[in-house]
Structure 1
Amino acid sequence: MRLEIIEDGGVPFDVSIHEGDKNCPVVLFAVGSGGQPERYSTLLKKLVESDFTVIAPHFERLLSPHPREEELALRGRRLSLALSAFSQPGAKVVGVGHSIGATTLVALAGAQMWLGPGRQVNISREKTLLRLALLAPPTGFFQAPGALDALKVPILVWVGSEDNITPPSQSEWLAQAISSSQKADLRITNGAGHFSFMDLAPPNTVEPLDNKLEFIQEYSSEVSKFLAG
């Protein structure tokens, strides 16, 4: 892994680059609210072992469970800037995101993200994204009429049955809402919680899974297979 620094309107931010073989496909990785990609070390390692290069911008931690428009727009913009800076022209690009990162990728792939009536988040579409793997995504942002109409890529949605932050009903709604226009693969792991996808969960969280490491290895392998499809 190497750490690079690029700028967004003169403001520097970090990007982790996990390099696979030359000319291999690219994974754009969108972290959750904590903002630190290395908290998902098993997943990132498996993606590289599966012949992907991973581009993972770092972000400031979101302090509120209800992100502001400018915070969401910044994440979308910096994901695109990082992808442009570190991917080769013509490379196959896929996306993996957890929690609010997953939601941001859905918007980058063409969906409209809304915070309320007349409050659409300005995130420009990234047309190079070919597939998305979404881990515990919050989906209330997309329930406006027509918000998902432009989303046309295959999607894997994975959530834990014990997730009390983005409950399975949110992932079930997304899979059903997009199933008429493209493939949606929904997986619900019994006993898993919102942070079960992370090697290093936030402080003061309780892990509901007894076999968390086994689950992380399983989902990381399955995500890699899906993205290679």
Structure 2
Amino acid sequence: MTIRLEASNPIASVLFAAGAGGNPERHAPLLRHLHGNGINVIAPVFERFASPSPSPDVLLGRAATLNAALQELAAYGLPVTGIGHSIGATLLLAIAGGQLYTGPGNALPIAVDQQLKKLVLFAPPTGYFNAPGALVQVTGEIQAWGGRRDVITPAAQLDLLAGANVRIVEDGGHFSFMNELPPGITDTITDRPKFLDELAQEVTAFVLR
């Protein structure tokens, strides 16, 4: 299953990659905001990871689905921005040219597609690229978001993204960037509607500029 939002007079396209839960519907207001501003959106739906440490085959499967969606967006002939949360952001970095490693010396052969001109990364686990030169082939613009209170992918992981436009949300956690929180999760941001509205506006402006 894939969510497709096609704008009537599109001026840009977005490929959205959900995190471990696999459900982009948890970001639906953001996706609708992008669509309402003339942006085509494709967001594949995935099964939730069965393990907190996904196997190489599972990662390759998700990457292949994202690459197929990217080919679908290419038909519009418009610039494409990849937006992803958590492991979804990691896979977009790999598709944009980063060499992802599942362990020391274990490079994952994810197909690269230079159509991704920009990336918006929410709480990306960059440890997958902690090897010399792993990100040198990523040449597009990056807007990276992290939460100071994120204990899953600490904000310090964004330090690996040299040249990125890094935004640190002081009271933000790992799931703060999701419009609908996972079951049992309480966010550390008190005024979530205000934060998420401003987030959607900043992300959309980055996509369109």
Report TM bin, short chain: over 0.9
CA distance in 2, matches of 1:84, 1:32: 21
Gaps of 5+ in 2: none
Give the drift of 1:62. 0.9
Aligned pairs for 1:1-229 within 5 A: 14-171=1-158, 173-175=159-161, 178-179=162-163, 184-229=164-209
Contact 1:110 1:150 in 2 (8 A): yes
Mapped partners of 2:127, 2:70: distance in 1: 26
**1 CA distance for matches of 2:66 and 2:147?**
26
Q: Which residue does the alignment assign to 1:7? A: none
> Cα deviation per residue 1:123-154 (whole Å; 9 max; x = unaligned)?
10011110000000000000111101101001
The amino acid across from 1:151 in the alignment is V
2:139 is paired with a residue whose SS is coil
- Matched residue type, 1:117: P
The range that moved more, 15-24 or 75-84, is 15-24
Q: Deviations along 1:183-204, whole A, 9 cap, x unmatched? A: x100011111111111211111
Give the 4+ runs in structure 1 shifted more than 3 A: none
Letter in 1 for 2:195: F
Paired residue type of 2:70: L
Please tell me the root mean square deviation across aligned C-alpha atoms, in Å.
1.2
Q: TM-score, normalised by structure 2?
A: 0.96
Report the 3-state secondary structure (helix = DSSP H, G, I; strand = E; otherwise coil) of the residue aligned with 1:26.
Answer: strand
Q: Could you say what secondary structure the match of 2:50 adopts?
A: coil
1:209 and 1:89 map into 2 onto residues whose CA distance is 37
How many angstroms apart in 2 are the aligned matches of 1:143 and 1:53? 33
For the 8 Å contact 1:57–1:78, the answer to whether it is kept is yes
| Whole-angstrom distance in 2 between the partners of 1:192 and 1:149 | 29
TM-score (norm 1): 0.88
Equivalent residue pairs, number? 209
Q: Give how far 1:63 is off.
A: 2.4
Percent sequence identity is 42
Q: How far apart are 1:109 and its partner, in Å?
A: 0.2
**Is the contact between residue 21 and residue 52 of structure 1 (CA under 8 Å) also seen in structure 2?**
no
Q: Matched residue of 2:183: which SS?
A: coil
Structure 1: 5+ residue stretches without partners? 1-13
